[in-house]
Chain A
Amino acid sequence: MEDLTTLTAAAAGRMIAARTLSPVDLVEAFLARIEAVDAQVKSYLLVMADSARAAARQAEQEIAAGRWRGPLHGIPYAVKDNYFTKGVRTCGASRLLLDHVPDFNATAIERLTHAGAILLGKLNTWEYGTGTGAVHFDLPFEPACNPWNLGHFTGGSSTGAGASVAARTAMFALGSDTGGSVRLPAAACGLQGIKPSFGLVSRYGILPNCWSLDAAGPLCWTAEDCALVLDAIAGHDPADPTCVDRPPVAHARGIGAGVQGTVIGVVREIDMNGVGADPAVAAGVSHVAETLQSLGARIVDVALPSPLSAYRRVTSLINWTESLSIHERDFVERGDQMGQALRDKMMSGFTVRAVDYVAALRLRRELAETMDRLMQSVDALLLPCAFHTAPPYADPAAVVAFTGHTATSVFNATGHPAISLCSGFDAAGLPLSAQLAGNWFDEATLLRITHAYEQATPWRAARPEIPAQGAMS
């Protein structure tokens, strides 16, 4: 019998719509998978088995009665534990919030519930969904492990979101991205993870990290799954003052239209303070470009308008300052109970001068405008995402470097949408990644390009094998 956890959300959705797959069976398959592997992967902080089973039974009854809600009806998913869940602990992996039970759901969860998706539980994360890149092993929960090699880092901060979809303990996951926290776990774990345009998806009910930069987005096995999730969660929400009021876009429609004539600007020369992408990562980006060119895309070489360090400096200052503003009381009163990474970040914000913060906001506008002029000359930009593959936890400097040597914060600064896509595997079998960025609110083009690349390459056929418990060295 087919292992139901290997299906994509789109495929499972089609089977559920055709009544050849039971949502109850699908949810049970995922709960069994969680039981089998999650003691090793540690993707979940909390599994909501009872409510998931009840929702699956309800979905089955509704569909049997002819009330099919759409392609996510009956699809099991999970959320990073900074998404508020009504009546269910939302602790952000922090000992400061271990008793925190919200009385409302995040808007994105409400919308997925409306679409019929089934919440399996709350996923591991860096504390409060943020950090410095370092992992100090000082939180109340152990860090999530990379399903491609359990001794390796998952990328952060949406650690459990990356681990769960790769380990098949969730069909898709929601994360949040302030400087790369959706795209970097996707990169480390071999997934597709999209940070939507700033303002496309409501952040209401997600523990804020940095108002100016936070974005909510899905981590999925395929671009088509990302499109289906975006279709469900995008759209105006008056509860989030940054959420734009635009006509809805059907991201999944037209995803198979191919890339003939699509203009893709490739950024080949790129470094973060002198450190460039590993040769295997750079080769992966080139492979993406060559593959898309063979499919009819027009590839042009371009350069970023500013060095990566300029975007990083601006986003760091904004992030440190706003994050301290959000969590000031927690830091002042109980900073000693925070893990070191969160405490370090709060300390960084504590002495930022107001004039430096405003200078960063002013430069941000200029960075966004110059990037947009480049973006308008192409349909998408192709560049590295993470410059390295997922490092071993045993190498703390490499763990920090995995987050530091990236080209992700660029698009948090500029607000453009960006997707991390799997571009193959290195000699050790760890996933490689590339990044596509697009014009504001043109997520559909990024998903169409990613889908075309998936169809032309074998990478989506490979799933990580997780050794039986006790078999780890």
Chain B
Amino acid sequence: MTKPTWTNAEIAAFAAANAVTWLTPAHAERFAERANEAAAAGRAVPRMTSRFVEPAHVFQMGPTRR
């Protein structure tokens, strides 16, 4: 699998497409660094061999809160 790598221009375009309009070039550079770090972390998580290992959900029914 090819390593996904965000460029500054790609992350700026992705951010703009998701309503983030305040990025400066310095922000975009930082954003790309963080995005690449997140992608690497995600790739490094070993996948479960069994389909029956469920996520550790925290959801529980409760009253509606503010």
Which residues of A are interface residues toward B (Cβ below 8 A)? 104, 204, 211-212, 238-242, 313-314, 316-317, 320, 331-332, 334-336, 340, 343-344, 347-353, 355-366, 368
Which of A239, A313, A334, A340 is B45 in contact with, Cβ under 8 Å?
A313
Which of B18, B38, B41, B42 is A332 in contact with, Cβ under 8 Å?
B18
Which of A242, A332, A350, A357 is B35 in contact with, Cβ under 8 Å?
A350
Q: Are A363 and B22 in contact (CB under 8 A)?
A: no
Q: In the complex, which residues 1-26 of chain B have their Cβ closer than 8 Å to any Cβ of chain A?
A: 6, 11, 14-15, 18-20, 22-24
Residues of A within 8 A of B6 (CB): 351
Residues of B within 8 A of A241 (CB): 58-62
Residues of A within 8 A of B63 (CB): 238-239
Q: Are A366 and B48 in contact (CB under 8 A)?
A: yes
Given contacts A331-B20, A351-B6, contact A364 B42 (CB under 8 A): no
Given contacts A204-B65, A238-B62, A362-B54, contact A350 B42 (CB under 8 A): no
Residues of A within 8 A of B45 (CB): 313-314, 317, 356, 359-360, 363
Q: Which residue of B lies closest to A213 (CB)?
A: B58
Which of A238, A336, A351, A355 is B11 in contact with, Cβ under 8 Å?
A351
Apart from A350-B31, A351-B34, 7 more pairs, CB < 8 Å: A314-B45, A335-B20, A348-B34, A350-B20, A357-B42, A361-B57, A368-B56
Residues of A within 8 A of B30 (CB): 340, 343-344, 347
CA A240 – CA B24 in complex, angstroms? 39
Q: Are B20 and A242 in contact (CB under 8 A)?
A: no
Residues of B within 8 A of A320 (CB): 38
Q: Which residue of A lies closest to B48 (CB)?
A: A362
CA A116 – CA B8 in complex, angstroms? 54
Which of A239, A240, A242, A352 is B42 in contact with, Cβ under 8 Å?
A352
Given contacts A316-B41, A320-B38, A351-B6, contact A361 B56 (CB under 8 A): yes
Which of B14, B18, B41 is A317 in contact with, Cβ under 8 Å?
B41
Q: Are A365 and B53 in contact (CB under 8 A)?
A: yes
Residues of B within 8 A of A212 (CB): 56, 58
Return the CB mask of B38-56 against A: 1 if under 8 Å, else 0.
1101111111100001111
Q: How far is the CB of A398 from chain B (nearest CB, A)?
A: 20
CA A104 – CA B65 in complex, angstroms? 12
CA A351 – CA B32 in complex, angstroms? 10
Chain A binding surface SS class: helix
CA A148 – CA B14 in complex, angstroms? 46
A-B contact pairs, 27 of them (CB 8 A): A204-B65, A212-B58, A238-B63, A242-B58, A316-B41, A317-B38, A317-B41, A335-B20, A335-B22, A336-B24, A343-B30, A344-B30, A344-B34, A347-B30, A347-B35, A348-B38, A350-B20, A350-B35, A351-B6, A351-B38, A353-B42, A355-B42, A356-B43, A358-B55, A360-B42, A366-B48, A366-B53
Residues of A within 8 A of B56 (CB): 212, 361-362, 364-365, 368
Q: Are A211 and B58 in contact (CB under 8 A)?
A: yes
CA A456 – CA B10 in complex, angstroms? 59
Q: Which residue of A lies closest to B22 (CB)?
A: A336
Which of A347, A359, A366 has the most chain B CB within a 10 Å cutoff? Answer: A347
Q: Which residue of B lies closest to A364 (CB)?
A: B56
CA A410 – CA B31 in complex, angstroms? 27
Q: Are B41 and A313 in contact (CB under 8 A)?
A: yes
Q: Are B42 and A361 in contact (CB under 8 A)?
A: no
Q: Are B42 and A347 in contact (CB under 8 A)?
A: no
Q: How far is the CB of A138 from chain B (nearest CB, A)?
A: 13
Which of B6, B20, B47, B61 has the most chain A CB within a 10 Å cutoff? Answer: B20
Residues of A within 8 A of B41 (CB): 313, 316-317, 356
Given contacts A351-B14, A352-B38, contact A242 B60 (CB under 8 A): yes
Q: Which residue of A lies closest to B37 (CB)?
A: A348
Given contacts A238-B63, A364-B56, contact A313 B44 (CB under 8 A): yes
Q: Are B55 and A362 in contact (CB under 8 A)?
A: yes
Q: Are A359 and B19 in contact (CB under 8 A)?
A: no
Q: How far is the CB of B57 from chain A (nearest CB, A)?
A: 7
Q: How far is the CB of B8 from chain A (nearest CB, A)?
A: 12
Q: Are A317 and B42 in contact (CB under 8 A)?
A: yes
Residues of B within 8 A of A357 (CB): 42
Q: Which residue of B lies closest to A329 (CB)?
A: B19
Residues of A within 8 A of B38 (CB): 317, 320, 348-352, 356
CA A262 – CA B45 in complex, angstroms? 36
